[in-house]
């Protein structure tokens, strides 16, 4: 029943969707490591990225400007959110910033829907081929060949930046102990904003990747990502960069496979949440994390 070809086919589509999950989860995981805030509004930043790219591309027709818009606008949005919502709430119980974040997410999502319309908008970038390629019986959409490598490269770049640059080391120091790091001269707010900016750029790029893969954007494209990115960072272990990549890819593939073999029990989206709850109860440190 399970043919190798079918399995490989699921693997390819799963990896593509999983890459988009991973790209959105990267920002979430570094922010969680720093502030211990579940930044649901990150999904709004992802939608903002998609729309910024759409507006830039439709008004100028330049791919470079579209990519730039998908990076700059979300970066600003992310830093503003951090400044307004999280920085004043660092001392509060952790569910307070979470509620703020959810409210901010719905607020931005609905504003975008009311301004740009509730329906999806077609967003095709010229020069990106859309005809599927056939390799040994497996059909691969050309967009997969963009989405997966971009995500993997972004993750590696982030990992290197985190472990090799001064800024990255300072971030890690803050993750370890906020007070001691500050006493040693780490400029906490600045490092936090840099992290938000970088995470948000990744979310914006993920928004653009979504458009490349599905050929459209929608104000509600963040709905699925908002909570699935949580599943990804729980899978990968909170705060782990490589964990977010692996977690995203695993979730994408697992959903693909589960839906095709058990699809009649529950719809695709439900599996992620069941996995989330089981993981939080049984292995809150993540699949690869060690118990504290």
Partner 1 sequence: MPISPGYLATLSTVVASYAIATLGLNITMGRAGQVNLGQAAFVGVGAMTSAILATRYDLPFWLCLPIAALISFAIGSLIGVVSIRLRHDFLAITTIGFNFIVIYVFLYYEVFGASYGIAGIPKPSIMGFKLRGFWYAGLSWAILGLAALLARYLDKSWMGIAFESIREDEEVSESIGISVRKFKILAFAVGAMYGGIAGSLLAHFKGYIVYSDFSFPYSIMILSMSIVGGIDTISGAIAGSLIVIMLPEIFRPLMEYRMVIYSALIILMLFLRPEGLLGRRSIVLEKVRAILVEGTRGES
Closer residue to partner 1, CB minimum distance, 102 or 186: 102
Q: Name which of 153, 138, 136, 155 is nearest 232 in CA terms.
A: 155
Between CA 253 and CA 292 the distance in angstroms is 29
291 sits near partner 1 (criterion: CB under 8 A): no
SS3 call for 140: strand
Asked whether position 107 contacts partner 1 by CB under 8 A, the answer is yes
Of residues 179, 214, 152, 201, the one with CA closest to residue 30: 201
Question: Which of 2, 99, 135, 157 contacts partner 1 by CB under 8 A?
Answer: 99
Total residues binding partner 1 (CB under 8 A): 34
Which parts of 82-183 fold into alpha helices (H)? 95-116, 142-164, 166-176, 178-183
Query: Does the footprint of partner 1 cover residue 44 (CB under 8 A)?
Result: no
Q: Is 119 in the site for partner 1 (CB under 8 A)?
A: no
- Cβ 272 to partner 1 shortest distance, Å: 8
CA distance linking residue 67 with residue 134, whole number of Å: 29
Alpha helices per DSSP H over the chain: 4-35, 42-60, 63-81, 95-116, 142-164, 166-176, 178-183, 188-214, 221-236, 241-262, 268-282
If one asks whether residue 130 binds partner 1 (CB under 8 A), the answer comes out as: no
94 near partner 1, rule: CB under 8 A: yes
Structure tokens at 154: 């972004």
Which of 16, 213, 276, 286 is in the footprint of partner 1 by CB under 8 A? 276
220 binds partner 1 (CB under 8 A): no
Instruction: Work out how close the CB of 152 gets to partner 1 at its nearest, in angstroms, rounded to a whole number.
Output: 27
Candidate residues 72, 110, 260, 287; the one interacting with partner 1 per rule CB under 8 A: 110
Which of 273, 283, 288, 289 contacts partner 1 by CB under 8 A? Answer: 273
Binding interface with partner 1 (CB under 8 A):
36, 38, 85, 88, 93-96, 98-100, 102-107, 109-111, 114, 227, 230, 266-267, 269-270, 273-274, 276-277, 280-281, 284
């Amino acid at each position: 029943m399970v043919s190798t070809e079918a399995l490989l086919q699921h693997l390819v589509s799963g990896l593509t969707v999983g890459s988009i999950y991973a790209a959105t989860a990267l920002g979430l995981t570094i922010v969680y490591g720093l502030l211990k805030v579940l930044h649901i509004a990150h999904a709004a930043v992802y939608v903002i990225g998609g729309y910024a790219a759409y507006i830039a591309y439709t008004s100028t027709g330049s791919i470079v400007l579209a990519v730039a818009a998908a990076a700059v606008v979300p970066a600003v949005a992310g830093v503003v959110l951090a400044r307004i919502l999280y920085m004043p709430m660092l001392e509060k119980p952790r569910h307070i910033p979470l509620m703020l974040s959810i409210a901010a997410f719905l607020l931005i999502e609905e504003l975008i829907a009311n301004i740009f319309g509730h329906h999806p908008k077609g967003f095709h970038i010229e020069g990106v081929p859309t005809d599927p390629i056939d390799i040994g019986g497996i059909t691969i959409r050309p967009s997969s060949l963009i989405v997966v490598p971009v995500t993997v490269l972004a993750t590696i770049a982030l990992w290197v930046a985190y472990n090799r640059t001064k800024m990255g080391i300072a971030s890690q120091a803050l993750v370890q102990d906020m007070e001691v790091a500050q006493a040693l001269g780490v400029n906490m707010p600045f490092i936090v904003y840099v992290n938000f900016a970088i995470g948000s750029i990744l979310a914006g790029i993920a928004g653009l990747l979504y458009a490349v893969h599905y050929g459209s954007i929608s104000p509600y494209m963040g709905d699925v990502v908002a909570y699935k990115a949580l599943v990804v960072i729980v899978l990968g272990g909170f705060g782990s960069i490589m964990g977010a990549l692996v977690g995203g890819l695993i979730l994408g593939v697992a959903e693909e496979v589960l839906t095709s073999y058990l699809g009649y029990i529950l719809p695709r989206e439900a599996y992620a949440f069941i996995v989330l709850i089981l993981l939080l109860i049984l292995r809150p440190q993540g699949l690869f994390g060690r118990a504290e």
